[in-house]
Structure 1
Amino acid sequence: MENTPASNFLQTIISDDLASGKVTEIVTRFPPEPNGYLHIGHAKSICVNFGLAEANGGRCNLRFDDTNPEKESQEFIESIQQDVRWLGFTWDGEVRFASSYFQQFYEWAVYLVEQGKAYVCDLNAEQAREYRGTLKEPGRNSPYRDRPVAENLDLLARMKAGEFGEGERVLRARIDMASPNMNMRDPILYRIRKMPHHQTGTEWAIYPTYDFAHGQEDAIEGITHSICTLEFEDHRPLYDWFLDNLPVPSRPRQYEFGRLNPSYTITSKRKLKQLVDEAVVAGWDDPRMPTVSGMRRRGYTPAAIRKFCDMIGTTRSDGVVDVAMLEFAIREDLNANAPRAMAVLKPLKVVLTDYPEDKTEMLAAPNHPTREDLGQRQLPFTREVYIDAEDFREEANKKYKRLVLGKRVRLRNAYVIEADAVVKNDAGEIVEVHAHTIPNTIGENPEDGVKPKGVIQWVSASAGKRAEIRLYDRLFNHEAPDRGDNDFMAHINPESLQIVNNAWIEPSLLEALPEQGFQFEREGYFVADRYDHSSEMPVFNKTIGLRDTWND
């Protein structure tokens, strides 16, 4: 799979603007609404906005579009800042908030009323929908559209003072109810919301809409390139209308790019919230979630996510991106950087009958096959070891390259052993294998010239440590879980999480720090859980397998 960075039409625009002198400094912004945790689509937007600023010596603001206190919280604000930092980006100056500009927005709303370009409307929501018209039929003017300016100013001031109930009145722009663009049919500028705001408390009883606030925020901050996803393309005429009709301090320009839609994934905040609320997952940062915090806890790396965003490019069209591209980027990064270790997920005890009971031999093992800078670790070798139960059979054909009675196999970084006998319980299940070591077989060229059939992982039964291993997989088993009429809840993968409580890990993993990633030999890539892992109770999350098994 190719990993060459794809095209970016926005960079072409920016290069031309700088070369022509249209702008002298690039200023972008990442403007999330703090009503949920960021997901992989937001990660793409972060990389676009911060990345373009970085690449062109400019600045990028982090600004919260916090105009809807009903769905927003400080928890989301903090998580978003943490995600941006984790991805490796730094915003310019202090964190900014739309709410910091509420007074200016209100003054501009008054200005529009004074100019005869905004009015207070008493239609309720149902009536407003009826008057708005359809895509095929023009809307009709509100009966309140021609209210005198003085009356509108009085009503707006009383709305601000909290005299009216929610839904009784709104402030609307006076544009064109016959416009083919539904966004231009006298859109709402202010609505009454009698609830405290996480930044301004109870200061305001009315709040601006996103459409009214967004362009003016950009103008206040001197944004040169206001970059958003393609669903806002139809909002651009309204964005420009406000800038044309208000005394704003600068003139930003909006550009749209195709949003990131990975397969086997949903990126609707509403649906992600439903997964959390209905306890389908363990929270916004569940490792199966496509949130940045979920991917972080899963063991995905910032470098891999940024590489993936470069690989898919920035285009003017929407489309579905194969999630295998993201998984490829993760594997490529971890293969190059993750130290190796051994873990046994289905332990089967092997007793080496010729090895002294009281002997412990320390064997050196490289932490990475090609990265000498990652050093070595010491593996205690003892009479009793655990191997994976799937790595032993009493009988097998020649294609089976693991331990078989009467056959030999190498314990990775240790001896070649030969299986002699098995011990079974009353149910006839194998509970123990007896074997012996082949002398002088430390290293890759055993002295007796007999090559083992394969190499398997192992852990000392006395020096190893029990661990909890959480095996995560894709949350959905349908390529497009929420496309069309699909009930995305019907496509939950029932095997997206399996917990192994009886795994054994090599003792070096007791020194693993939370969020430290490893390749468990022959098992896949794993990460020490961000919150639950400790040396007393090791917990590792499966990040991804060594290969793509979904296309097998």
Structure 2
Amino acid sequence: MKIYKDFNFYKKNFIFQIVNSDIKNKKYTLICTRFPPEPNGYLHLGHIKAICLNFTIAKYYNGKCYLRIDDTNPSTENIKYIEAIKKDLLWLGFKWDGKIKYSSDYFNILYKYAIELINKDLAYVDELNIQDIRKYRGTLLQPGKNSPYRNRPKKENLELFQKMRLGYFQEGSMSLRAKIDMKSNIIIMRDPVLYRIKYRKHHQTGKKWCIYPTYDFSHCIADALEGITHSLCTLEFQDNRILYNWILNNININVKYYPKQYEFSRLNIENGITSKRKINFLLQNGIIKGWDDPRLFTISGLRKRGYTPSSLKNFCYKIGITKKNNIIEISSLESSLREELNKTAYRTMAVLKPLKIIIKNFPKKKKIKLIAPNHPHNPKMGSKIIYFTKEIYINLLDFMEKDTKNYKRLVLGKEVRLRHAFVIRAEKIIKDSFGKIKYIYCSYDPNTLGKKIEKNRNVKGVIHWVSCLYSIPATFYLYKNLLLKNNTENINDITSMINTKSLSIYNGFVESNLLKTNNSHFQFEREGYFYLIYNNQKEKTMFFNRIVSLKENYN
């Protein structure tokens, strides 16, 4: 597993310090963590933070990290999400220990523990519907009140729960609740639901069950049965820890030790949507095409856009682990990718908005072979051949009819250097009947190849280009933030916040030597870092996603 070069910084976080202390005090002989996703959607950037923490701790201390699918709600789960979870983890470079575990593996024993709580008069069958349960629960300022069914005799609760198991009652008509304290200052301790009726086929157990444990009931028991030493989760589960301890303390579970839960802040990314509910809204309204849309911060979306596993992991190592909630700027994520690709991506030229240039003093059938490095600072990456011909393409934005003070590109009557080639001068503009530029006549100076320009010669700058004869048609997808605002966590309707210009598509050209490339990541000079998503050698066309734009002064 590739670990961030400044790993000592990451190792200083409070959870590592806790584990260090536990090992020093010989509290555990084997560190055991787990990653427990729910299979009701695709993993996202926030999950990578949790994945890195759990798997890295296990690897660093020669322990184990399990993948456990928390599949307690068949209403929202799908086998396709499980397959996506496995694919994402393997793509990131993490391999779980042993076979994949499922919460459904424990359904039989969970049912027995539920009966044990009933027998101890610590659980009861309630006939309040979900709306009434919420009303009875109270608020942060008002205590809850007891359900009228709270004091059923144990025998009646057992009979009803067994009938729930056998399918005697309608979905939503009954539930099993823990009997704790409806006046507790901690709302989750106000008789939480432990089991509910759901007539849904389960992807692992089929139709064997029609009652399913809640996440809170199954989660802590599964952790205990699997020997999890450090149960790591985000801050919103802080109160749940108290419930988990109550459950474990009130059942006869034969384990060496109970899992100890520690909470850390979740990863909130600027202008990012990670909520499964909101992503489903975008899908249903046709705003995105799938969970792997490159504008999303799902792992599959980031992969499709062109992010590398190491850049995503290093990003998580850099931001570290704390208890303080904050919003991470997207520039920090982009910086991790740039840092990597600035060293590894092949430099090449691409024209996204082509404007034809005709070199009037260059012979029509002539071509000049030019040698250019694949990377300006890494000779080991070799060189490439490009051809200078009579007709070339430059970027439309690299030409202006009238000069301005700060414009450093081609201007009518002025000179500019072509990257790796000659100095050219714009001589004449040819327009169509609508006033749109068709092409520009230029002249080139054959004595400027590879030579420094005289100080008194006003060459405006350096621009990129491709030969019309030796280039390949390419389609470029450029992405911007899907949201116009930074934080939508507490906003239900995000329709007005959608950036309708989050995707731009351009049809241009790339150097012809890319057609047979074995590389996937490129820096198109002055355009950004791009990811090759499709290469049709037969039809000679290519498709690229821009991952990130270039940072100022990046080579």
Question: Is 2:151 the partner of 1:146?
Answer: yes
Bigger drift between 179-188 and 540-549 goes to: 540-549
Q: How many residues align?
A: 542
Consecutive unaligned residues of structure 1, counting only runs of 5 or more, are: none
Bigger drift between 484-493 and 284-293 goes to: 484-493
Counterpart of 1:131 in structure 2 is 136
Counterpart of 2:107 in structure 1 is 102
Matches within 5 A, 1:178-217: 178-217=183-222
Distance 1:494 1:131 in 2: 43
* TM-score of the aligned structures, taking structure 2 as reference length: 0.93
Question: Is 2:372 the partner of 1:362?
Answer: no
Bigger drift between 502-511 and 338-347 goes to: 502-511
Deviation of residue 147 (structure 1)? Answer: 2.5
Change (3 A) 1:444 1:78: farther
Counterpart of 1:491 in structure 2 is 497
Identity of aligned residues (%): 48
Question: Is 2:528 the partner of 1:524?
Answer: yes
Bigger drift between 71-80 and 123-132 goes to: 123-132
Aligned to 2:357, the other structure's residue is in SS state strand
Distance 2:101 2:536 in 1: 37
8 Å CA contact 1:347–1:387 kept in 2: the answer is: yes
Question: Is 2:283 the partner of 1:276?
Answer: yes
Distance 2:268 2:74 in 1: 28
Counterpart of 2:329 in structure 1 is 322
Counterpart of 2:50 in structure 1 is 45
Deviation of residue 65 (structure 1)? Answer: 0.5
Counterpart of 1:428 in structure 2 is 435
Aligned to 1:454, the other structure's residue is in SS state strand
Aligned to 2:486, the other structure's residue is in SS state coil
Partner deviation per Cα, 1:277-297 (whole Å, 9 max, x = no partner): 211112111111111111111
Change (3 A) 1:485 1:192: closer
8 Å CA contact 2:233–2:263 kept in 1: the answer is: yes
Deviation of residue 511 (structure 1)? Answer: 2.8
Deviation of residue 350 (structure 1)? Answer: 0.9
Change (3 A) 1:398 1:188: closer
Matches within 5 A, 1:250-269: 250-269=257-276
Counterpart of 2:394 in structure 1 is 387
Counterpart of 1:304 in structure 2 is 311
Which of these residues, 471, 480, 485, is aligned with residue 478 of structure 1? 485
Distance 1:498 1:360 in 2: 34
Change (3 A) 1:406 1:131: closer
Deviation of residue 213 (structure 1)? Answer: 0.4
8 Å CA contact 2:273–2:296 kept in 1: the answer is: no
Which of these residues, 521, 524, 546, is aligned with residue 550 of structure 2? 546
Question: Is 2:413 the partner of 1:406?
Answer: yes
8 Å CA contact 2:238–2:263 kept in 1: the answer is: yes
Which of these residues, 533, 536, 548, is aligned with residue 534 of structure 1? 536
Partner deviation per Cα, 1:432-456 (whole Å, 9 max, x = no partner): 1122322243324369995743211
8 Å CA contact 1:441–1:447 kept in 2: the answer is: no
C-alpha root-mean-square deviation of aligned residues, in Å? Answer: 2.2
In structure 2, give the amino acid aligned to 1:495. Answer: K
Distance 1:534 1:46 in 2: 36
Change (3 A) 1:235 1:222: same
Which of these residues, 445, 468, 479, is aligned with residue 438 of structure 1? 445
Distance 2:103 2:472 in 1: 51
Deviation of residue 45 (structure 1)? Answer: 1.1
Counterpart of 1:233 in structure 2 is 238
Deviation of residue 533 (structure 1)? Answer: 4.7
Counterpart of 1:29 in structure 2 is 34
Change (3 A) 1:127 1:402: closer
In structure 1, give the amino acid aligned to 2:23. Answer: L
Which of these residues, 121, 127, 135, is aligned with residue 122 of structure 1? 127
Which of these residues, 326, 336, 356, is aligned with residue 343 of structure 2? 336
Distance 2:513 2:109 in 1: 59
Deviation of residue 275 (structure 1)? Answer: 1.1
Question: Is 2:357 the partner of 1:350?
Answer: yes
Deviation of residue 512 (structure 1)? Answer: 4.3
Distance 1:147 1:326 in 2: 55
Partner deviation per Cα, 1:280-328 (whole Å, 9 max, x = no partner): 1121111111111111111122222112212221111212222221122
Deviation of residue 150 (structure 1)? Answer: 2.6
8 Å CA contact 1:440–1:446 kept in 2: the answer is: no
Distance 1:365 1:33 in 2: 50
Question: Is 2:244 the partner of 1:224?
Answer: no
Partner deviation per Cα, 1:490-532 (whole Å, 9 max, x = no partner): 11112210111x3111112223468x12111001111112xx5
8 Å CA contact 2:515–2:535 kept in 1: the answer is: no
In structure 1, give the amino acid aligned to 2:536. Answer: S
Distance 2:396 2:42 in 1: 40
Counterpart of 2:89 in structure 1 is 84
Distance 1:221 1:333 in 2: 38
Deviation of residue 135 (structure 1)? Answer: 2.2
Distance 2:37 2:358 in 1: 58
Deviation of residue 543 (structure 1)? Answer: 0.9
Distance 1:75 1:513 in 2: 30
Distance 1:394 1:154 in 2: 87
Question: Is 2:53 the partner of 1:54?
Answer: no
Aligned to 2:74, the other structure's residue is in SS state coil
Aligned to 1:396, the other structure's residue is in SS state coil
Counterpart of 1:164 in structure 2 is 169
In structure 1, give the amino acid aligned to 2:80. Answer: E
* TM-score of the aligned structures, taking structure 1 as reference length: 0.93
In structure 2, give the amino acid aligned to 1:167. Answer: G
Aligned to 1:542, the other structure's residue is in SS state strand
In structure 2, give the amino acid aligned to 1:170. Answer: S
Deviation of residue 380 (structure 1)? Answer: 2.6
In structure 1, give the amino acid aligned to 2:412. Answer: L
Bigger drift between 321-330 and 183-192 goes to: 321-330
